[in-house]
Amino acid sequence: MADRFVLFLIRHLPTQGNRERKYIGWTDEPILETAIEQRCLIATSTVFGSDLVRTRQSAAVYFPAATFIADCRWRECNFGIFEGKTYADLEKDEDYRRWIEDAERNRPPEGESLAQVKTRVLSVVKEMPNGAVVMTHGGPIRVLLTAFSQENKAFWSWDIPHGAAYRLEWDSEKVFREGRACTSISAVPITANGLT
């Protein structure tokens, strides 16, 4: 039997904008101070991820000795003119209402639709080696869980907390490269004390 193919997806640690429930897709802000000093349970010498500072800093917290390979295709959705705003700021905006009603086809002014995010994330994931660890954002993780799950769950139904890690496994690299559903998806602890 062929070797199984495994991919780890980790959401970056929170930023101030996250705490304030703002849209911060391409806004390049740092993570909040963190007290994580536990040994990381996922072993790797290389971390792939978004080129934004919050993913680089999160990777340095969890994998201080690893090389970080940045790629802008791992970025969160570009929220355009909605960047830095909250639901309360936008709830009466017609463009915002159109976007949240159908994010797949509609996009924020000067931003991206969900279809555009899917296209770029699915293009970069195909380049990942077996065992890759990817530090990215909630949107790209939801894209991949939705694309590769056998459960047929909707994009927004996935709960992706900051610092959460997911292990995706396929029966073989061939099955992964063909873009077929994975055998299993599981949330995994990232530190020895079980914290994510």
Assign residue 47 the CATH number of its domain.
3.40.50.1240
pLDDT, tens digit (0-9, with 9 covering 90-100), for 80-132: 999 999 999 999 999 999 999 999 999 999 999 999 999 999 999 999 999 99
Do 136 and 129 contact (CB within 8 A), yes or no?
A: no
Q: Taking residues 51-73, report their average pLDDT.
A: 95
CA distance 63 to 113: 32
CA distance 164 to 142: 12
Which pLDDT score, from 0 to 100, does residue 180 have? 93
Does 1 score more than 70 pLDDT?
Answer: no
Q: Is residue 62 part of a domain?
A: yes
Q: Is residue 35 part of a domain?
A: yes
151 band by pLDDT with thresholds 50, 70 and 90: confident
Q: What is the dihedral of CA 16, 73, 164, 192, to 10 degrees?
A: -110
Q: Is residue 98 part of a domain?
A: no
CA distance 139 to 144: 9
Q: Is residue 23 part of a domain?
A: yes
CA distance 149 to 94: 33
- The count of domains in the chain is 1
Q: Is residue 167 part of a domain?
A: yes
191 band by pLDDT with thresholds 50, 70 and 90: confident
Share of residues in the chain with pLDDT > 70 (%): 94
152 band by pLDDT with thresholds 50, 70 and 90: confident
Domain range spanning residue 41? 5-77+115-188
Does 196 score more than 60 pLDDT?
Answer: no
Q: Is residue 91 part of a domain?
A: no
Share of residues in the chain with pLDDT > 90 (%): 83
Does 9 score more than 90 pLDDT?
Answer: yes
Q: Is residue 193 part of a domain?
A: no
Instruction: Write down the pTM of the prediction.
Output: 0.92
Q: Is residue 150 part of a domain?
A: yes
Does 146 score more than 70 pLDDT?
Answer: yes
Which pLDDT score, from 0 to 100, does residue 141 have? 97
pLDDT, tens digit (0-9, with 9 covering 90-100), for 18-45: 999 999 999 999 999 875 655 678 889 9
Contacts 24+ apart (CB under 8 A), 59-68: 59/135, 61/13, 61/31, 61/34, 61/36, 62/10, 62/36, 62/135, 62/190, 62/191, 63/133, 66/133, 68/135
